[in-house]
Structure 1
Amino acid sequence: MSAPTWDPAQYLRHADHRARPFTDLLARVPDLPGAPPRIADLGCGPGNVTTLLAERWPTAHITGYDNSPEMLDKAHVDHAGPTPGGGRIDFAPADARTWEPVRPYDLIVSNATLQWVPGHADRFADWIAGLTPGGTFAFQVPGNFDAPSHRLMRELAHSARWSDRLADTLRHADAVLAPETYLARLTALGCTADVWETTYIHLLTGEDPVLDWVKGTGLRPVLTALADDPGEREAFMAEYRTALREAYPSGPHGTPFPFRRIFAVARKEA
């Protein structure tokens, strides 16, 4: 399966809703030991939430890492450079499947990225080893792989009409672990861990807003796989759109879209 091609503009269409979990995650991160702190944002995307790190730690040197050239280009143009508090934001290419800290960080943070990394919990030891004493590893991942938005996508991809091209394209329900499993993995590495889950009820507006949402994230592998055949891509989208309209009916003020997320904040022993 090839890596999906990302579209920063599509991703940012729901930037406010997507940023809220990151804000909630940062609220639970304790004070960092470095002065100024060094921070790694693993899977930074277009950099819009990377700037929230500079608001929380104004003097920090923050490096955003991503494996999407499209996302990194957008991040460089919009957000790289000195920050108002005297810190700095820069960006660099890296793949979370193989990335290892080359210098100690006071915070390694990852926002809605690790679900794309098979076996990501096996990387925790290397990342925690790259923290300064008293540093923090924090992440949030979607926990909605059994929700209609993802279940219907998988069912359609495995249907007789599409299985030849798409059966091996999408992530499965085990893309993330249970919260209690993350807690066990992090505490076994000697960290003090805080793990929780939240279900947001986003009220989306516009025509087919759930489809518009997943076009920026979960549907990217399908869009990439069918990129060379616009007719087939539109046919898949038409079937999927019909299923989503039934699963997520529009109300008088918009379309309610429940979205469960899993959070973890792990502090390394000082």
Structure 2
Amino acid sequence: MNDLPDPDLTPTPEVVLRPRRKGIYILPNLFTLAALFGGFYAVVMAMNGRFEQAAIGVFCAMVLDSLDGRVARMTNTQSAFGEQMDSLSDMVSFGAAPALIVYEWALQGLNKLGWLAAFVYCAGAALRLARFNTNIAVVDKRFFQGLPSPAAAALVTGLIWVMDDLGYRNVEQIEWLRWTAFAVTLYAGLTMVTNVPFYSFKDVSFKRSVPFIAIVAIALGFAVIAYHPPLVLFGLFLAYGASGYIVYAIRKAKGRPVSVIAVSTDEPDEKGLHQ
């Protein structure tokens, strides 16, 4: 008689599954770190009175910030770490950096009012980012709730870039320009924490085919920007910064809902509109 155990009756040891490690993906976080460097570089340049380079640093951070999330989705490397890193980078590059730059450029000439305006902008950016992170699942993805912080940073630093390009120096001693910087800083800071809807362009698909004329228009757009970057970029973001209030007024006049917060994400007409 065979004394060997029957393989079908032999108990098999349990396989202990180790929890998957929460890794840190290199590629998307490289873009985030580069955006963070752009904000830090901008602050250093402002401290040395090189305001054109400071503005360029913030705009470069904007481009890099727009890429890190797309790269993560394309390469399937999204992570909780990346989300937190992106928020912290945004706070530095589009919150603290523009506030410090505009204070060094003009607002210090207004004494207490100057640093209060800079703080309102910085606090507005922090509140806007915190609200974005907590409301991300219930906001219509076609719109931002309030002015996004990169666009607010572009408003503030775009003004600095244009005026510096026009040859204005020692701005803290030019009264009309100090008050202009004060108004723009407050407008950008407060608009970030409003409920005004700003179009997000997230429903634009880059996988669809487009007419040939669209490619021509894009090429012309790049040519116009290259002709005079400070003025064109500031003009574009100035128009975008006002567009939310225009959309709000049109919706209000037509009796349509002006809030971008969903009452219920299960409603049929809201399907696919929320992240």
Q: Provide TM-score, normalisation by structure 1.
A: 0.22
Greater per-residue strand proportion: 1
Greater per-residue helix proportion: 2
